[in-house]
Amino acid sequence: MLQLIADGLIQGAMVSLGAIGLTLTYSILRFANFTQGEFVTGGAYVALMALAGFTGAAQGPGKFDGLSFGWPMLIALLLAMLATAGLALLIEWLLFGRLRRRGSAITLVIASFGASLALRNLIAFTFGPQPQYFRISSLWWDSRRCWWSHCISSSRERPSAARCGQPRRILPWLC
């Protein structure tokens, strides 16, 4: 029962984070920027790729108190924050900054929907349509086959050894 309450609080916090972000963006920029979800998703995949690289290069994650992924996860999260901020600034400079000078508020909202769809499809094209999960047992390094390899399971269960024998790659088009 306590686990269900904790899960509900975590899910509620994630939903409220998106709502607060949209409200804050609207109050500052005077338009609703709907690309926030894709920024979060892109940051999560950057962290996943960085964590796969770090844990493979270090031959396994080191533990850091209660954080089972260790120091590589903290560094991966910092890289993900920097990459997400860079992507947001790039889209602001390329798209929204130009439209803000010439267009109306509705033009910015429509442009944010378009940017959201473009980023969502770029992520799906790059990483595939199935969600990928952070899991210590699934992160590994295979320098013979591909620089970024990852044993992926589309479920939250621990991947079997048979699945890990034939890995799918994080960036399948790169290998």
- Maximal C-alpha separation, the chain: 57
Which residues touch 136 (CB under 8 Å, ≥6 apart)?
A: 55, 61, 68, 69
Task: With CA atoms as reference, report the closest residue to 130 among 170, 158, 160.
Answer: 170
pLDDT at residue 17, rounded to an integer: 85
Global confidence as pTM: 0.67
pLDDT at residue 6 above 70? yes
Q: Which band of pLDDT confidence, cut at 50, 70 and 90, is reported for residue 166?
A: very low
pLDDT at residue 102 above 80? yes
- Which residue, chain included where needed, has tokens 């790729």? 49
Q: What percent of the chain has pLDDT over 90?
A: 32
Domain boundaries, the chain: 1-30, 38-169
Q: Positive or negative, the Cα torsion across 163, 154, 66, 46?
A: positive
The residue-averaged pLDDT of 79-87 equals 96
pLDDT in tens, 9-55: 999 998 898 889 888 888 888 888 889 889 989 999 999 888 877 76
